Amino acid sequence: MSGSLVSSTTAVERNEARELRRANYRGRTYMSLWQPIVVFVGLVGVAYLIALYYDKVKQQSYLWPYPHQVIAQVWDPFFGPQLRQDLLNSSLVALTGLAAAIVIGVVWATLMAQAKWVERSFYPYAVVLQCIPILALVPLIGTLFGYEFFSRVLVTTMIALFPLVSNTLFGLLSADKAQRELFQLQGASRWTILTKLRFPAALPSIFVGLRTAAGLSVIGAIVGDQFFQRGQPGLGVLIQVATSRLNGPGTFAAILTASLLGVLVFIVFGALARLAIGRWYDF
């Protein structure tokens, strides 16, 4: 009798704790939704004030259009279809370059994590790659590889590579030393330690690198597009064309679209991170 009473009491406590967690989650979700909305409304108000200044005071409304003019430009029968086509072209370049950066970065970091001498030999070149001004290499890349899709992807990969290398290497090296020694005492192979211990421990850092590289890949696609103006044009070319024609709403619409593309890729990798490690790591 007493045992059943204790078990029922425990079940009630568990249900209460579960309901409390759900209430806290709903509260956090509500807070996380309305706060960005308030900031967004404030930014739109500031944008209208700046546009009003350039329109009425400077008499140069093309430099800073009203937000509603930018939105209208997206649905313009002439500008809108070109914007959507260029968005698809830039998305293809960004995602292809990001995929190449993921493969190269993870493999590079994994090799460096195997031995200190490998890390000391190869990590400085990752730092050099990060420090090289990509814009200075763009003419050379165009001369060697042409000015079309491959060169755009190459620039995107170079820009997005370093965060993946550095974060993956940090994650692989952060596996608990006592656990590594336990694996070694049990006679585990290097491959087993890598796949069963180091990679699971490195997943949070890898996803941080992925989210950072995702935003950089969009920047790389835009930069490459602005310099390699042959082949299929992207958002970078559209920004330059709209600017040269003093089409302020079109320029801002293209810039806003490129920014939203980066945000979307960032959100996708954040969702993947929560699916992969959200149960045991607060991402």
Highest mean pLDDT pick, 2-16, 17-31, 138-152, 202-216: 202-216
What is the span of the domain harbouring residue 55? 1-64
Residues 21 and 137 in one domain: no
- Write the pLDDT tens digit of every residue in 157-200: 999 999 999 999 998 888 777 887 777 777 777 888 787 888 88
- What is the percent of the chain with per-residue pLDDT over 70, rounded to a whole number? 86
The mean predicted confidence, pLDDT, of the chain is 82
- Assess if residue 178 is contained within a domain: yes
Higher pLDDT pick, 28 / 155: 155
- 98: in domain: yes
92 and 124 housed in the same domain: yes
pLDDT band at 35 (very low <50, low <70, confident <90, very high): confident
**Together in a domain, 163 and 218:** yes
Residues 47 and 145 in one domain: no
Confidence at residue 2, expressed as pLDDT on a 0 to 100 scale: 47
Regarding pTM above 0.85, the answer is no
Closest CA to 262 of 116, 156, 139, 150: 156
250 with 267, same domain: the answer is yes
Residue whose entry in the numeric block shows the structure tokens 């204790």: 6
Distance (Å) of CA 205 to CA 22, 169, 172, 208, 211: 28, 9, 9, 5, 10
Tally of domains within the chain: 2
- Domain co-membership, 236 together with 98: yes
CA-to-CA dists, residue 168 to 13, 101, 189, 202, angstroms:
42, 12, 21, 6
173 and 42 in a common domain: no
Task: Report pLDDT for 16.
Answer: 56
Q: Are residues 183 and 107 in the same domain?
A: yes
Residue 99 — pLDDT band, cuts 50, 70, 90?
A: very high
In this prediction, residues 239-264 reach a mean pLDDT of 88
Please give the torsion angle defined by the CA atoms of residues 18, 21, 26 and 28, in that order, rounded to the nearest 10 degrees: -170
- Going by C-alpha positions, the residue among 249, 183, 263, 250 that lies closest to residue 219 is 263
CA distance 123 to 198: 19
pLDDT at 5: 45
Same domain, yes or no: 39 and 79: no
- The C-alpha atoms of residue 151 and residue 229 are separated, in whole angstroms, by 11
163 plus 37 within the same structural domain: no
Pair (263, 162) in one structural domain: yes
> Are residue 52 and residue 113 in the same domain, yes or no?
no
The CATH number of the domain holding residue 111 is 1.10.3720.10
Instruction: Give residue 101's pLDDT.
Output: 94
